[in-house]
Amino acid sequence: MSVLELKDISGGYGEADILHGVTLTIGEGEIVVVIGPNGAGKSTAMKAVFGLLRLSGGTITLAGEDITGMDPARVVRKGVCYVPQTNNVFSTLTVQENLEMGAYIREDNFKPRIQEIYEMFPPLAEKRKQRAGELSGGQRQMVAMGKALMVEPKILLLDEPTAGLSPIYRKEIFDTVRQINATGIPILMVEQNAKQSLAVADRGYILVDGRNRTQGKGSDLLQDPEIAEMFLGG
């Protein structure tokens, strides 16, 4: 059974629809990447999961349960964690406080989990008392991912985690994505860096104009000549 399924989703923010019947499924333990040109509705599809969108059609199910249009706070409690592309850390809170907020919905002792996150992202351990807004872009991304992982989610959604990062950090983030996935957490990721992201992904979807264009195994999509021409720079 799929962990998360978006079926035939249509909708947008204002009057006009941005998505016209998008379907995405993420199975147990998978890394799924969504690529496509600007304005294809990649990030919008992700926001639909969190009820941040006016939906005009389609259903969203989490492990078989219908969560269509559910309030974001409840979706988080169901075990879906989302890292937005920008504005994804509390900038005036310290690194440690950001992680504590990530665990806001946990009633148990989450201190050991904070230690695990620091082991996963060693640079954060040194900066635990520093405000998240003062960190570099790459480290902020680590805080955002660490914060989302505090609840040991059923699925992690990442919106362009490498946007605006230098190639070194980009590689580090993709390594981290694989590392998180290795602990059994399925990941749905929207990406601009098609080549690198397809290389870490099990499967990929290509969206164009708010519709599914192609889908397939990451390695197959990488070798598809048409896709290569469209997104991978020839």
Partner 1 sequence: MEFINFYLLPGIVLGSIYALGAIGVSLVFGILRFANFAHGELMLIGAYITYSLFQFTGLHPLAVLPLAMVLTSFIALGIDHTFYKPFRNSKTTIVIVASFGIALMARSAVQIIWGVDTFSYSSGRIEMPIVLFGGLRIFMKHVWIVSCSIGLMLCIHTILSYTRIGKAMRAMSDSAELARLTGIETEKVVRATWILGASLAAAAGVFLGLDSHLHSMMGFYMLLPMFAAAILGGIGQPYGAMVGGLVVGLAEELSSYPWLGDSPLLPPAYKAGVAFALMVLMLLWRPSGLFRGRVF
Interface contacts to partner 1, rule CB under 8 A: 50, 72-73, 76-77, 82, 84, 87-93, 97, 100-102, 104-105, 147, 151
By beta-carbon proximity to partner 1, the closer residue of 106 and 171 is: 106
By beta-carbon proximity to partner 1, the closer residue of 68 and 91 is: 91
Are the C-beta atoms of 132 and 143 separated by less than 8 Å?
A: yes
- Other CB atoms closer than 10 Å to residue 2's CB: what's the count? 18
By beta-carbon proximity to partner 1, the closer residue of 49 and 201 is: 49
Closest CB 171 distance from partner 1, rounded Å: 26
Are the C-beta atoms of 29 and 71 separated by less than 8 Å?
A: no
Lookup: tokens for 114: 């904070």
Are the C-beta atoms of 1 and 20 separated by less than 8 Å?
A: no
Q: Which residue has the tokens 């269509």?
A: 68
Closest CB 199 distance from partner 1, rounded Å: 28
Per the document, the length of the chain is 234
Closest CB 157 distance from partner 1, rounded Å: 10
Lookup: tokens for 233: 């720079």
By beta-carbon proximity to partner 1, the closer residue of 142 and 206 is: 142
Closest CB 216 distance from partner 1, rounded Å: 30
Task: Give the C-alpha separation, 43 to 41, whole Å.
Answer: 6
